Amino acid sequence: MEIRHVSGKDPLPASDPQSYGIQVAEKVLKRQYGEKVDVVPFLMLGGTDSHYYKRIADNVMLFSGYVRDERWGAAHQVNEKIPADALKASVDFFKDFLRSY
């Protein structure tokens, strides 16, 4: 597969999967969701503020901690929504991640 930059900002460099932050995130995810969770890199196509951090951080993780299901609305569309009960998993992840880091 070849990816060609057409417009917009260049993507961030890939994070090192062996970096400390990625390893902590994987441990926290396995504690939260079980050992069958796999952490894999991907190219995020959304516009985020993460490009501001690439000069000061070795790795930038684009992660929400949410578990999506059919109740979610499409991102940036009419009726976009996140069910309130989905927020807890994300809050729990980030609390555990920050304590573990």
pLDDT in tens, 42-92: 766 666 788 888 888 888 887 777 778 888 877 778 878 888 888 888 899
Instruction: Give me the residue label for tokens 């260049």.
Output: 10
Among residues 14, 66, 18, 69, which one has the least CA distance to residue 42?
14
Tens-place pLDDT, residues 36-52: 988 877 766 666 788 88
Q: Give the range of the structural domain holding residue 85, as residue numbers without chain letter.
A: 15-44+74-101
Identify whether 28 is part of a domain.
Answer: yes
| Torsion, CA 71, CA 67, CA 80, CA 41, rounded to 10 | -140
Identify whether 20 is part of a domain.
Answer: yes
Reported pTM:
0.74
Identify whether 78 is part of a domain.
Answer: yes
**24, 97 contact by CB (below 8 A):** yes
| Amino acid letter for position 6 | V
How many separate domains does the chain show? Answer: 1
